[in-house]
Chain A
Amino acid sequence: MDITTEILDEATIIRFSGTADGTAVAEIRRALGEGVNATSCRVVCDLSGTSYICSDALGAFISAHEEAREAGGYVYLVHPQRRIADILATTQLDRLFEVFESVEAALVR
């Protein structure tokens, strides 16, 4: 999985590209942890390049979301591909996460 981080004044944008399987979970968790700490717990996760996600990787996003929320911040998800959106709907995690069509839409929320 390729992960890139961009730190802006208003939030940290993290772009996840490729396969979020068990071998990528530690890397995902580390990136989210750094993102949560970087900009007052405001993290925007661009999932437009993510083609697969396992439940452990979902767990990494949930943990970051809870950590950010408790500190008054957020973890937003942006533009998940159809199969990832299906997983979010199946697990009802679309009730937990706010999902946006674009990074720009998430930043002006």
Chain B
Amino acid sequence: LHAHDRNQVLQIPSCASEVHHVQCLIQEAMEQHGYDDDACFAVKLSVEESIINAIRHGNKFDRSRCVEIRFDVNDECVCIHVRDEGKGFNPCCVPDPTSEENLAKPHGRGIMLMRAYMDEVYYADDGREVTMVKRNRADG
């Protein structure tokens, strides 16, 4: 796990146990900038969902492939980029997990949760990189 200062860049192997370290670093920065508990919860959830997607669907659990996380936390917003080394995908083609035929399926809710809990979610580089933004509403 490698981290630099304000604009932090992390590279983690494709291993789910690494997610917690990333969540803790971002949560710590958010607390320092006065984000409320709901924002911290939303970012924690979205970070986990995005990294797990990168590990599972992007890097196919190949531990020789890394997931890169870049994030910046300031008083106004949190901006997080998560990038994998996979083949990419079309986020427009992801099935709706709330449809009748998908509701009882155990997977497929990660992107939906990210979109629900973050203020902005968008993909680049054919789906290999997702960017998520959460604005700070703690001061109204």
A binds B: yes
Binding site for B on A (CB under 8 A): 21-23, 52, 54-56, 58-60, 62-63, 65-66, 83, 87, 90-93, 95-96
**A65-B104, A92-B103, A93-B103 known; A52+B45 contact, CB < 8 A:** yes
CA distance A93 to B106 in the complex (A): 11
CA distance A92 to B101 in the complex (A): 13
Contact with A along B106-124 (1 / 0, CB 8 A): 1101101100110000000
Which size class do B's interface residues fall under?
20 to 34
A58 surroundings in chain B (CB, below 8 A): 106, 109
B38 surroundings in chain A (CB, below 8 A): 83
Q: Are A22 and B16 in contact (CB under 8 A)?
A: yes
8 example contacts (A-B, Cβ-Cβ < 8 A) are as follows A22-B52, A23-B20, A54-B45, A56-B52, A60-B106, A62-B105, A90-B112, A91-B112
Q: Are B48 and A54 in contact (CB under 8 A)?
A: yes
Chain A residue nearest to B48 (CB atoms) is A54
B106 surroundings in chain A (CB, below 8 A): 58-60, 62-63
CA distance A59 to B113 in the complex (A): 13
Give the dominant DSSP class at B's interface. Answer: helix
Q: Are A95 and B52 in contact (CB under 8 A)?
A: no
Chain B residue nearest to A59 (CB atoms) is B106
Binding site for A on B (CB under 8 A): 16-17, 19-20, 38, 41, 44-45, 48-49, 52, 97-98, 103-107, 109-110, 112-113, 116-117
**A55-B107, A65-B104, A90-B112 known; A21+B48 contact, CB < 8 A:** yes
A55 surroundings in chain B (CB, below 8 A): 49, 52, 107, 109-110, 113
Chain B residue nearest to A51 (CB atoms) is B41
**A22-B52, A52-B45 known; A96+B104 contact, CB < 8 A:** yes
Give the dominant DSSP class at A's interface. Answer: helix
B48 surroundings in chain A (CB, below 8 A): 21-22, 54
A93 surroundings in chain B (CB, below 8 A): 103
Contact partner, B49, options A54, A60, A63, A65, Cβ 8 Å: A54
Contact partner, A95, options B49, B103, B113, Cβ 8 Å: B103
A96 surroundings in chain B (CB, below 8 A): 103-104
Chain B residue nearest to A53 (CB atoms) is B45
Q: Are B20 and A21 in contact (CB under 8 A)?
A: yes
Q: Are A59 and B104 in contact (CB under 8 A)?
A: no
